[in-house]
Amino acid sequence: MAESILVTIDGAVLDPDVPILHGDDLAAVRGDGVFETLLVRDGRARIVDLHLQRLARSAKALDLPAPDEEKWASAIDTGARVWAEKSDNAEGLMRVVYSRGRESAPVDAVVSRDRDDTGLTRDIGGATEYLTVGPVPSRAAVVRENGVKVITASRGYSIDLAASAPWQLLGAKTLSYATNMAALRYAQDQGADDVIYLSSEGIVLESPRSTVIAVEGKNLMTPPAESGILGGTMQQAIFAQAEKEGWQTEIGTLRPADLVCADAVWLVSSITLAARITKFNGYQMSAPEHPEEFSALVDRAID
């Protein structure tokens, strides 16, 4: 299987072992940029439109120039095709990266979008834009099948913070992911697989890399993005498909007790797709009678 591939915004396929970032790229030194992670399945990246829409929202929050969606869509198609050819059509994890460029000459929100032949950041005031594709971590298959043990952890802020402090970038998918990775390590230290963040009011927010969906019969509920969470592309796709099939969907406030009382609670994301919570703060969650129904709904949502 191919280890990884590297594609520029202009569709050039490069050697993934050749460095492309300058030492002062703001992606590396400040996490000043945005990214998206897409699933590649059967030679095609899934729910591309939702990811590009969120990339644009994240870029706007950081005062970055609007991403060139046409170029990105073409580069994503190239990446998915090349990955399928090199990996014998295995599932792939695609990561789209868009940073402000070099600290010595960061891109300006109104600068020209002209680029050189490679698409790399070589010119003054150029953004850094590329994507990689590699294997889906083995963890994804395990948790899709077996579920996850989850603990709650305080996010340390109120659900009102996103509205009152937009500079916190709570609804943007930024490259500054150190806090999320620390939370996952904390969960592992506690014998769990993942974390669900709670606001200072004790309201359910999100997981470091997924969105929470509670299921009651044919009703789906998820927290609102306005509470300071990242709007989930997978959640949006699932809700859209569910509504087509007659499910009821709701965006509203959830508390830990609501999760315990639900028929099932799932963590959904683009790569894992759906992992059912089997233990919640040490409590053994009840298993739904037909968990495969939700998993099948997820597969249809990305088809």
Question: In CATH, what number is assigned to the domain containing residue 92?
Answer: 3.30.470.10
Q: How far apart are CA 244 and CA 79, in angstroms?
A: 31
Does the pLDDT at position 116 exceed 60?
no
Confidence tier at 109 by pLDDT (50, 70, 90) = low
For 195, 212, 223, the CA distances from 205, given in Å and listed in that order, are 10, 8, 6
For range 107-132, the mean pLDDT = 63
| CATH code of the domain covering residue 283 | 3.20.10.10
Q: Is residue 170 located within the same domain as residue 215?
A: yes
Asked if residues 233 and 50 have their Cβ atoms less than 8 Å apart, the reply is yes
For range 203-232, the mean pLDDT = 97
Residue 1 is predicted with a pLDDT of 53
Last residue of a domain, one of 136, 151, 174: 136
Percent of the chain with pLDDT over 90: 89
Residue 157's domain comprises: 139-301
Does the pLDDT at position 153 exceed 70?
yes
Last residue of a domain, one of 136, 170, 195: 136
Q: How many domains is the chain partitioned into structurally?
A: 2
For range 80-90, the mean pLDDT = 97
Q: Is residue 155 located within the same domain as residue 280?
A: yes
Q: Is residue 98 located within the same domain as residue 147?
A: no
For 10, 99, 107, 118, 264, the CA distances from 123, given in Å and listed in that order, are 15, 14, 10, 11, 51
Q: Is residue 126 located within the same domain as residue 162?
A: no
When the pLDDT of each residue in the chain is averaged and rounded to a whole number, the result is: 93
Pairing of the two strands 13-14 and 44-45: unpaired
> DSSP label at 118?
S
Q: Is residue 131 located within the same domain as residue 50?
A: yes
Q: Is residue 72 located within the same domain as residue 219?
A: no
Q: Is residue 216 located within the same domain as residue 174?
A: yes
Confidence tier at 2 by pLDDT (50, 70, 90) = low
Does the pLDDT at position 64 exceed 90?
yes
Asked if residues 270 and 93 have their Cβ atoms less than 8 Å apart, the reply is no
Does the pLDDT at position 122 exceed 70?
no
CA angle 167, 208, 170 (to 5 degrees): 15
Last residue of a domain, one of 119, 136, 153: 136
Q: Is residue 126 located within the same domain as residue 175?
A: no
For range 136-161, the mean pLDDT = 96
Q: Is residue 103 located within the same domain as residue 25?
A: yes
Residue 52 is predicted with a pLDDT of 98
Q: Is residue 78 located within the same domain as residue 144?
A: no
**Range with lowest mean pLDDT among 19-28, 58-67, 104-113, 242-251:** 104-113
Q: Is residue 61 located within the same domain as residue 160?
A: no
Q: Would you say the C-alpha torsion 283, 284, 290, 296 has a positive or negative sign?
A: positive
Q: Is residue 114 located within the same domain as residue 170?
A: no
